[in-house]
Amino acid sequence: MIQGTRHWAVVACVVGASVAMADESIVNSPHDLSARSPNPIRAVDEGRICIFCHAPHNAAPQTPLWNRENPRTHYRVYRSSTTDARIDQPSGSSKMCLSCHDGSMALGNVLSRNVNDPIVVTARTMPPGTSDLTNDLSDDHPIGFRYDRALSNIDSQIRPPEIVSPILPLGAHNEMHCSTCHDPHNNQLGDFLRITDQMSAICVTCHDRDGWHQSAHALSPKRVSSRTVDPTLRLKYDSVRDNGCMNCHRIHSAPGREQLLRHSGDDDNCLNCHDGSVARFNIASEVGKFSAHDSRDFGRDHDPTESPFTMRRHVVCADCHNPHAAKSSTGPVAAGARGARVRGAIEFVSGVTITGRETDNADFTYEICFKCHGDSVARPRITISRDVTQTNTRLEFQTSNPSFHPVAGPRRNSDVVSLLPPYRVGDVISCTDCHSSDNARSASGSGANGPHGSIFEPLLERNYETADFTAESAEAYALCYKCHNRDSILNDDSFARHRRHILAIRAPCSACHDAHGVNRGQGNATNHGSLINFDLSIVSPAATPSGLRLEYQDTGRLSGNCTLTCHGFAHIELPYFNSTGGKTAASSRRIRTNAGAGQ
C-alpha cells in the first residue's frame, strides 16, 4: 500500500489541487482522518489522508474525483422574514460537505472500498456537536440560494456579487455553497475559513450593514472575558472589536435560528454584555426595575419586519436599538437645544413619523417611541381616566393641537413664564427628557440615559406624584420642577391659584394637566389650552342651571374660569387672573377669598 502524501502528490495533480497547500494545511487539521492524525476522530489503520474524500479510481462521476456517496437527505432549510433570497435544498459541493457533516453517513464509507469493508474510524459518524449540522439547516447560515445582481439590487445591504465572488467563490450559477466561505483544504485561518472572521472581515465581504463600520460593536476594544453568560460557545477572540458579529451571532447551530443569534431570547444576546460585565452601563439592572421596558413583562414577539400598527405587544432591545449601528454619543446635548434628533445608540432605527408614516430610519427620538406608543393596536392602556381620553401619543403631540408639550415642534404662544434656564419658549424637548432611568446621567446619576427602567412609574426620570392630597414638595413634583421654576409656580406667576391648589388644597399637577397634550379632534383651544384635561378620579362635573358641566374656559392671556366639582366644592365659572393678566394681586386675593373655603 502506498501511504502518506507521496501517493497523494500524484493524485493532487489529477484533481487540480496544490500539493504544497494541501500538505501544509490538511495534515493534522480536523479534516485529517488518517491514523496518524492527532485528532480524536481518526482511522484505526488507514494512513492516507485524502482517501476519505478523493480517489484516483472508482470515484463518483463528479469533480473532484469524489470518493463518497452524496446524501439523499431532505433538509430543513434556513428561513427568515428578512431574507430576500429563495433558499433551496443544498446541491453541488455543499452535498459533499454534508456527506459527513449531516451526521447520517459513516465517515469510513468511501466508494473506493467495498461497502462491506469500510475504513474503520474511531467514530462511526460525525459526533453530536457544532460539526454535526444534522438534517436541520435552519439554524445555520443559508446556502442553496443564488447570490446574484437581482438579490443585491433588492437588498441594499448586500454587496454586489462581482465584488464578492473573486474572494469567496460562488457556484456555477452563483449559488452560495459551504465552500464559498470554507476551503476544505486550507485551515490556516481556523475553521477552514477563506477569510479571517476577526473583526468580522469575512462577514462584511458580503454584508454591508448601515452604520456598522462606525458602530461600538465594530470598534470597541472592551474585553469579553468577563461576560457572565455564554453557555453555547465561548467567543474566539478577546475583545468586542475582534469578535465583531460573533459577539451576537453564530454561523452554525445558532439557538436563535432566524437571526442566527447566540441566544434564543433576543435580549439575552444584549444583556450578556450590557449587564456591566463588558459594556459600561448595567442595563440588565435597569430593565429589572419597578417600571421598565422589560421583555419578561411584555413578551418577545419581535420581528424585524413587523408592522408597528398591527404587531403584538412586546418589547426587546432591538425595538429601539440597531445593534449593527449603535454607538456611543459624542457628547451631551444642551437642554432645550432641539436635541431630539436620533444619535448614538439609536441611529438607523425604524420609526413612525408625526404624520403616521412608517420610516426605515427615524430622524427624531419620538418617531421610535411612536412605533409602540402611537397607532399600534398594542399600545399601553391609560393610567389616569381623563375628561378627554387618548392613548395615542402621536395624536397628543400634534403641533396643531390646542395644547401640547413641545416634543414634535415648538409651542405657538409665549405664555409659559416659569421655564428654568436654559429652557426658553420655542425650544423642543424629547420624550426621554421625561421618560428615562432614575439613575440616568441626565438626572445627575451614573447610569445610562434612556427609558430602560425606573423606580418612578410610568418610566419617569424623576418623581411625579399623581395621587390626590399629595403634600407639595420639590421631590413630589421633581419631574415638573426639572423645567418649571418652583418659585414661579408657587408665586402664582402664571396661574393665580397654583399655590392654593397644590400647596393648601394639595391637589396634584395631574388633577388639571395632561402632560402630553390634547388632540385637536377631541378638544379646542378655549377649553383645553395649557394642557388642561381633568383627572376624573379627582374632578367631576358641577351641577349648573344648564345641566352637569365639566369645563375650563380660556378668557385671555393667563386668565380663565372653571366649572367643575373638586373635593366636594362646586366651581361655577370661577374666574382667575394673575398680576400680568389685567388684574392686581389684591384683586386675585379677593376673588380667592370670595370663592369660599377650600376652593
Domain boundaries, given as residue ranges, for the chain: 401-594
Q: Which residue has the cell 425650544?
A: 427
Residue 14 has pLDDT above 50, yes or no: no
Residue ranges of alpha helices (H) inside 80-215 are 92-101, 149-154, 161-164, 178-181, 203-206
What pLDDT band is residue 383 in, cutting at 50, 70 and 90?
confident
Q: How far is CA 66 from the centre of its chain?
A: 46
Cβ count within 10 A of residue 436: 28
In the beta sheet, which residues pair with residue 560?
A: 554, 576
Residue 323 has pLDDT above 90, yes or no: yes
CA 76 – CA 137 distance, rounded (Å): 6
Q: Which helix (H) or strand (E) holds 574?
A: strand 569-576
Q: Which three cell numbers stand for residue 57?
A: 479510481
Q: How far is CA 417 from the centre of its chain?
A: 39
- What is the rounded average pLDDT of the residues 514-531? 93
pTM, full prediction: 0.87
What pLDDT band is residue 590 in, cutting at 50, 70 and 90?
very low
Cβ count within 10 A of residue 240: 23
CA 495 – CA 404 distance, rounded (Å): 18
In the beta sheet, which residues pair with residue 403?
A: 518
Residue 334 has pLDDT above 60, yes or no: no
CA 494 – CA 2 distance, rounded (Å): 100
Question: Identity (one letter) of the amino acid at 137?
Answer: L
DSSP letters, 227-266, are -S---S---SSSBHHHHGGGGTB-SSS-SBTTTTBSSSSH
Residue 584 has pLDDT above 50, yes or no: no
What pLDDT band is residue 22 in, cutting at 50, 70 and 90?
very low
Compute the mean pLDDT over every residue in the chain, rounded to the nearest whole number: 88
Q: Tell which residue, 93, 127, 124, has the closest CA to residue 107.
A: 124
Predicted pLDDT of residue 597:
31
> What confidence tens digit (pLDDT) does each residue in 462-479 have?
999 999 999 999 999 999
Asked whether 407 and 520 are in contact (CB, 8 A), the reply is no
Asked whether 55 and 111 are in contact (CB, 8 A), the reply is yes
- What is the rounded average pLDDT of the residues 441-449? 90
Going by the DSSP 8-state scheme, the letter that residue 384 receives in this structure is S
Question: Where is average pLDDT lowest: 202-211, 318-327, 363-372, 377-386?
Answer: 377-386
Q: What percent of the chain is modeled with pLDDT above 70?
A: 90
Higher-confidence residue: 581 or 511? Answer: 511
Cα dist from 242 to 188, 210, 238, 252, 383, whole Å: 18, 19, 7, 19, 46
CA 466 – CA 209 distance, rounded (Å): 45
Asked whether 509 and 535 are in contact (CB, 8 A), the reply is no
Q: Which helix (H) or strand (E) holds 24?
A: helix 19-25
Q: Tell which residue, 171, 145, 128, 132, has the closest CA to residue 78.
A: 145
Tell me what percent of the chain is helix, strand and coil, each rounded to the nearest 5.
25, 10, 65
Please state whether beta strands 547-549 and 358-359 pair in parallel, antiparallel, or not at all (unpaired). unpaired
Residue 379 has pLDDT above 80, yes or no: yes
